Amino acid sequence: MSNVSRLLVLLLVALTTACVHRPAREASGRFVERELQVEGTTYRYQVFVPSAQAGGRHPPVILFLHGSGERGSDNRKQTEVGLGPHLRQHLADFPAIVVMPQSPEGRSWDGAIARMALAALDASVREFDGDKHRIVLTGLSRGGYGAYELALMEPLRFAALVPVCGGITQPPGVPERLQVEGVAQAPDPFAAAAQRLQHIPMWLFHGAKDEAVTPDQSRHMDEALRRVGADVRYSELPGVGHDVWDPAYAMPELWEWVWAQRR
């Protein structure tokens, strides 16, 4: 067999092998575990990687910040509340990379933990070829506060924000410290946040019956954003409590809006 013939056979084998394995790889999205070091501490995080058919060559990217109850170091709980269950129901057709860091117990999405989340985002965009112009930041409860916090830290990074039952100032019913540190010292923290984030399209969600983070947080932020002419939507769901994330993330209109956003 000539060298040319041998090369053609090897090429055919390689192509056949790729074709055999490709359907399994593309048939469904999947969760993968990763870790990184930030300021001397190792953190683990999860990434949802969409199927090639759903996500295309450069998928949009979502950074998801969990709430207080999912804090820890098991690298699992942050996938079980909020966006994670929705992803498991749409493994084959959800088109975005979703980065899901986990905050340690007793911490909020500020300081080193915020920097860790941004580092996990950067690493995931590089590894999975995410579209840097279509990065959307969302979070629920304490993660909703975190969405504002990280956007204030990196105001030019995100194409859109989706804070779910989040807020800006300390809710009266929450014993732990819970506020957006980036504007905590401002005379009007809502106005200060709106002024700095007015260029980012936002869709806010809150349950009208939320007794943990009361809906006045999102109402005040919606009003402040409208006063500065921001592109903002606010959905307050009647009869829904703190777990507004389930109907919010299940809303097809939300995802149609998300996929249309580009920085």
Residue 22 has pLDDT above 50, yes or no: no
Is residue 9 domain-resident?
Answer: no
Distance, CA of 135 to CA of 93 (rounded, Å) = 18
pLDDT-based confidence at residue 9 (cuts at 50, 70, 90)? very low
Residue 72 has pLDDT above 70, yes or no: yes
Residue 85 sits in which domain range? Answer: 29-259
Is residue 20 domain-resident?
Answer: no
Q: Find out whether 245 and 165 touch, Cβ atoms under 8 Å.
A: yes
Q: Find out whether 63 and 135 touch, Cβ atoms under 8 Å.
A: yes
Q: What global pTM score does this model have?
A: 0.90
> pLDDT (tens digit, 9 = 90+) per residue, 146-194?
999 999 999 999 999 999 999 999 999 899 999 999 999 999 999 999 9
Distance, CA of 249 to CA of 254 (rounded, Å) = 7
Tally of CB atoms within 10 A around 229: 9
Distance, CA of 140 to CA of 211 (rounded, Å) = 15
pLDDT-based confidence at residue 26 (cuts at 50, 70, 90)? low
Residues of the chain with pLDDT > 90, as a percent, come to 88
Is residue 22 domain-resident?
Answer: no
Q: Which residue has 């969302």 as its token pair?
A: 138
Instruction: Return the pLDDT at 173.
Output: 81
Number of alpha carbons in the 13 Å side-chain half-sphere of residue 237: 19
Distance, CA of 166 to CA of 109 (rounded, Å) = 12
Q: Which residue has 């593309």 as its token pair?
A: 26
Is residue 37 domain-resident?
Answer: yes
Domains contained in the chain, number: 1
How many angstroms separate the Cα of 96 from the Cα of each of 36, 38, 87, 138, 234?
A: 21, 25, 10, 13, 23
Instruction: Return the pLDDT at 19.
Output: 42
CATH number at residue 140: 3.40.50.1820
Mean pLDDT of 89-105: 97
Query: Residue ranges of the alpha helices (H) in 90-215?
Result: 111-128, 142-153, 189-197
